[in-house]
A and B are shown apart, each in its own frame.
Chain A
Amino acid sequence: MTVISVLLILSCLLLLGSSRLHVAIRVVAAQGLLLGVLPIVRSAENLHVAILILGLSTIVSKGILLPWLMNTCLRLSGIRREIEPFVGFGPSLLCGTALLGLAVWIAVRLQLPQVPLILLTSSFFAILVGLFLMVTRRKAITQSLAYLVMENGVYGVGISMSLDFPFLVELGILLDVFVGVFLMGNLLFHLDREFEHLDADKLTELSDLSEPAPAGEERV
């Protein structure tokens, strides 16, 4: 479990530092796989079918299906394969360090008994990184990616608290994500046709307000 947590943290840092979209998608897919293995590892002693199904479904949905969707989006829309950040990658990594500290602090301060702290830490970190990526990355597709990272974090927190809890929440969130991805895909094509660019930042041009709204926050 420690190994999985560490890999989760590392994958989040990789997301902060990488400039390639397809790398980012692959990393998120890897996160999905990790999270799928997680419930199985956590209950290695009394493994039963429900947990196996939970794990496998996670692997299929987060590790395979969603990344595949994203990749398809990426290919079909033909956008440039680079992530365009508002905050550079080096500073992003430094912010990531701060977020890591924050995650540790939160995890320790919650003082939940019977919860593996390291897993809680890494999950909180994933949530924070997801939020950070959403705010600081320009493209719409990175935003849905970031949303997925955050969702992974929520899932991780759920797993670390209890094994049954995530099932319900998970279903709801996954639905959200699917809708989000489809909406985004739709949006991407329309944007592409209308504006010949896919910067969520430039959605502000649609606004009636004379002053452009602060960039990159509202939509997912």
Chain B
Amino acid sequence: MMPRAVRDFRFALLAAALVALCVALARPSWTLPRPAYDLLLVVDVTGSMNARDYMLDGNPAARLDAVKKTLRDLIARLPCRSRVGLGIFTERRSFLLFEPVELCDNYSVVDAAIASLEWRMAWEGDSRIASGLNSAMEIARSLDADLVFLTDGHEAPPLPASGAPPFEGEPGKVGGLIVGIGGGSLVPIPKFDDMGREIGFFAMADVPQENRLGLPPADASSRPGWHPRNAPFGGEAPRGNEHLTSLRGEYLQTLARRIELGYVRLQDARQLEAALAENASRRMIETAVDLSPIPAAIALAALVACYGALPLSRLVGPQRGTSHISHKNERTTS
């Protein structure tokens, strides 16, 4: 004889829940392509990056600190299996600290390495951005990674009249972007002594205001004291704002166009990630998405329906339920 439970809808729901749970236990999954990046982060650590024109937690912060915070946020946002390497730029050269590593396994180390970046790693006062960018492009190409070059664009010493050194590689071979750091207004650059103590700010006479290598600029003959042999750059000491710094956005944009990189001004990790999606080459990786929550949710719904259906139907139609019971009672008592 067939158990009478089989005809009960609650048994059907229980059976459905059981089947759904068994499906969930089988761990169904779906593979989805997700983007991942191979990045080489190169951070400018030259003196001008100590200028304080950012605010972090309500305090004035050096550009380098703002960069470190944004990069640490960025690597937390990057999809798993992205690879990230780190380098620094100072003087005229980019210097690779470590090659790109898989991010999720090595996150804490990469995070600590970014946190330990500081201006003391710089070895010269010079900041020849165009040369540093060229060498960073070369390193990124050899690593088969995209370049994220973070700099304020402050060339020190200033570029000669002939302009930035040419890029000898092949533009477009390496993707990525240049990230402009710094504010729009001129701020002083802190000065440090040999033991790393801050001792004030750079003054106009402390830094070369003009690059006097190579040919003089075309308008030099109109300068006071100009003499074609004895004073081809003019007779007076050059004056200028090279001891102050602000973001040289236009210059960086020119550089970026020349080597076919994107350009973006540093705001936060979210905006940087969006810029990466546009400018860096994405590597699609198959990621398994666990689908077991779906049958599990069905099982839960079935169980809840199973328990909740009868009380609910009583609430909706109390008349029928009570009359049924009273009828039964009547029958059994009489």
A binds B: no
Interface residues in chain A, defined as those with a beta carbon under 8 Å from any beta carbon in chain B: none
- B residues contacting A by CB (< 8 A) are none
